[in-house]
Amino acid sequence: MRLATVLAMPVLMAACAHPITLKSDLERIPSVQAQQKIPKSVGYYIEPILLASEVTTPGGGGDSVKYFPYQDIEPGFYKVLSNVFKDVNRLKSAQDGEAISKYDISLIFTPLLQTSSSSSSALTWPPTKFATQLTCKITDKNGQLILEKKITGDGVAQFEEFAKDHSLSARRATEDLLKKLQNELLESPELRK
């Protein structure tokens, strides 16, 4: 019995990466009044290699968490753009001339994400703190830079909260990021010219 316990200890102590999601509840992103919307058709482009990329960051107890940031955030990113602008289209490339012409796209959004996580717990693996930083380059249809926005979303969750939802701090960070992005876009006069 003691031998089995001793042999099992390295397995229990070995760090591993647990899957989580950054997807937030899209219903929590407030809609925008029709008169606030920017009457433009826009597009966005995310490189396929980024959409497929899995990221690993620290959790608690010496473990890590793994997730697909671009896949998880894209639905919320699309919703924010749809809330702010008249029409939104996903582009096949940054210079997708066919879509740009067909949909009369005047602005192109290219998001870049950085994430970080940590935990104050030595016993549980879900992160208690999560941050997602978005750098969003906004160009005109000719590739000229119009605006660059840098926004950070922060999420915090304690054990009592994340016991049933291990992704809670990450999802809260995404929600915070998307709400801030929506406000920033609505308040940017450069996008209304």
Q: Quick check: is 9 in a domain?
A: no
Compute the distance between CA of residue 120 and CA of residue 60 in angstroms, rounded to an integer.
Answer: 7
Give a yes or no: residue 6 inside a domain: no
- Per DSSP, the chain holds a count of helices (H) and strands (E) of 6, 8
Q: Which of 74, 39, 71, 47 is nearest to 181 (CA)?
A: 74
Q: Is 1 among the domain residues?
A: no
Question: For the domain that residue 134 is a member of, what is the CATH number?
Answer: 3.30.160.150
Residues 6+ apart with CB under 8 A from 31: 83
Tokens of 94: 């940054």
Beta bridge partners of 43: 89, 108
Report the C-alpha gap between 84 and 88 in whole angstroms: 9
List pLDDT tens digits, range 133-192. 999 999 999 999 999 999 999 999 998 888 889 999 999 999 999 999 999 999 999 999
* Domain boundaries, position 110: 16-192
Residue 11 lies in a domain: no
Mean pLDDT of all residues in 80-97 = 96
Residue 120 lies in a domain: yes
Is 57 a member of any domain? yes
For 123, the 3-state DSSP assignment is coil
Q: Please give the mean pLDDT across all residues of the chain.
A: 92
Picking from 188, 168, 170, the residue whose alpha carbon sits closest to that of residue 42 is 188
Q: Does the residue 100 lie in any domain? A: yes
How many domains are contained in the chain? 1
- Residue 174 counted as domain residue: yes
Residue 1: pLDDT above 70? no
The pTM for the full model equals: 0.90
